[in-house]
Amino acid sequence: MSLFKPIWFQIESHYHANKITELSGNDFIDLIEAISKKEKLTCSPSRLTLYTKKKADSQFITLNNEIFKDCQKNFNNLTGIYEIDEDNPIRVKLPEKTYTFIPILIESVKRTFSDITKEITGIIDDRFMTISTDIESRLKKIKLDASYPGWYSCPATCTETENGKMVKEDLTFPFTLNESITLRKNSRVGLFKKKTIPKSKKEKDIQEYFIKECEVITRTFEIIHYNVLDVHNFPLLDTRKPDFVILSKQDPLDPLNVVAVGEIRVIKAQHGIFSNADIGHAVSFGEKLLQLQPRRAFVYAIITDCHVLSLILITRSGNNNHNYKRTPLAKLESDDATAPGWKQFVTLLSQNPETLGWVPSTVRHEDKEVKLVRSIGTGRTSVVYEGAYDNNKVAVKMLKDAQFIDQFRWEVFVMKKLAILNSQNLLSLEISHLDTDDYGPKFIVLSPLCERFKTWRKEDVSPIINTLKKVHELGFIHRDFRKWNLLRDQDGNIRIVDWGFAVEINQPVSFAGSLETLPDEVLQDIIDGKKIKYTKDIELISIVRAIYLMVFRPFLEHIPFGEEDIKKWAGIYKEFWRGHAHSSLWSKIFETAKLTDYDGLNTLLEELF
């Protein structure tokens, strides 16, 4: 029996479509086999995901089997590697109608692989589809990742419901119940008494009750060295907000110190169990914690509605995949005696941190060890920690996902080129742990450790402008100037950080990096869907606008996390700058920047202070 599931090849119509058809899994297998023969791959991926641009007035259709068979022939012509601008998808023509699609990833599920990573992309045959725009600026890099020889437990694109389905109820409670931890039967709180549990279906009410009961438990027993903290309003784990976390009483609240995570869910199903979506939601917090604690091998997640409780074990299985198990539902509420679930919960709270999977956070490169002290920031591609290395405070930039590895490598390449400047306004690259065969965390170590600042000083201007001049002379553009990428070290120097979006001067590329500080004409190019040739004057205008925003702090909307409509936001920022920085001095500053007069720009900016 084939392991492959039916595939949906999704296309977004610019006209209204009135049917959705499913793609046969067999046809898909034929396609992949053809690709494998041509590319000499040693594995057969099991799913092709095509992401589409969402429009409110569109419906989604999928190609039927007959059309897909034509696609199969066309995919045999896979050649070259191209980039796509996700905000300007490919426009292709099918008979009588025009569609938009973005090919993005071929994945493998529950297959055994040999080590191979192959990038493939395709040119669609003109006989079937005519690409109406420049393919080199439209096609996205498609990556076939088969680097880990083992079983995949869940692909990255799983929904929480799909994730929940993979959590099997085959975990026996892993600890010996601690019978010495008891409360008096007449205790008013701490026992999750059935008659005191709110009958409300609002998670907020259940959440408050759960935390109050836990406070009694953690205060009462000396053997319990943890606090159970309500963090449901706080994005403690990157952007994720678990309902509660468990951490040692002596530790500050930081993702590195979290021992276990928990989720409150109200059971609404008639069959009286948590839904797959509920379980998947709890699992997602455990997975995020493993990402933020790079040396940790496993974590426990608790899911409860105060009546029952289940313990979920999330374990790393290599290559950013995880395995899952959970205990059967155990009764947490009590009538006259402590319930089995209550005993499990307090037994869990009496374990030492190492037994629950927590380990001191360090990362290693060859014979060098860096201790992670605390998390200090999260971006699209990385999590940043304060670290201790060679008796110095450093920044450790940890890769969030393997899809960003090329950007990390490019940043390392640029920083090595810039190291010749020996500038006090740039960071030094201490360690680069990227090109390794292990499945541990990929990271770079930078020094010195810096922090955000609010106030520019007159003496800050000249070093930054002069550093930019030297960087430009070496042929690079930073192209990501914003307040988060201008930091101050302990000696008072402003450092330009985060060179992952850097490009070579005059290189035409699709937009990436900072949007709100770009010149008006570049914002218009983005609106028009054009490529951008990043030049010195664009860079200087960007740093000037960044300084303006940091000095005067006008109200400016920020692009929401995950926002895809960059053209809309380019229009918003262009409109913003129509009403700002138009005094005679600022007009002169921008004119000087456009002329790439570094010395003149330095003099004019210093007049602001």
Binding-site residues: 397
The alpha-carbon radius of gyration of the chain (Å, integer) is 28
C-alpha to C-alpha distance for 382 and 384, rounded to whole angstroms: 6
Strands 226-230, 476-477: pairing is unpaired
From CA 56, how far away is CA 45, in angstroms rounded?
A: 32
User: Count of H helices and E strands in the chain?
Assistant: 13, 27
Q: Outline where 221-273 has alpha helix (H).
A: none
Would you list which residues are annotated within the binding site for ATP? 397
3-state secondary structure of 291: helix
Q: What is the DSSP string of 90-158?
A: EEEEETTEEEEEEEEEEE--S----SEEEEE-----TTT-EE-S-GGGTPPPEEEEE---S--S--TT-
3-class secondary structure for 106-123? Answer: EECCCCCCCCEEEEECCC
Amino acid type, 321: N
Report the C-alpha gap between 388 and 371 in whole angstroms: 5
The token pair that represents 205 in the structure block:
């009410």
In terms of DSSP bridges, do strands 258-264 and 298-304 run parallel, antiparallel, or are they unpaired?
Answer: parallel
The SS3 assignment for 300 reads strand
Helices 536-552 & 598-606 angle (0-180, nearest 10)? 10
CA 538, 540, 542, 545 dihedral sign is negative
Q: Which residues of 35-47 are buried (b: 16+ CB within 10 A; e: fewer)?
A: bbeeeebebbbbb
Q: What angle do CA 589, 595, 596 make, to 5 degrees?
A: 90
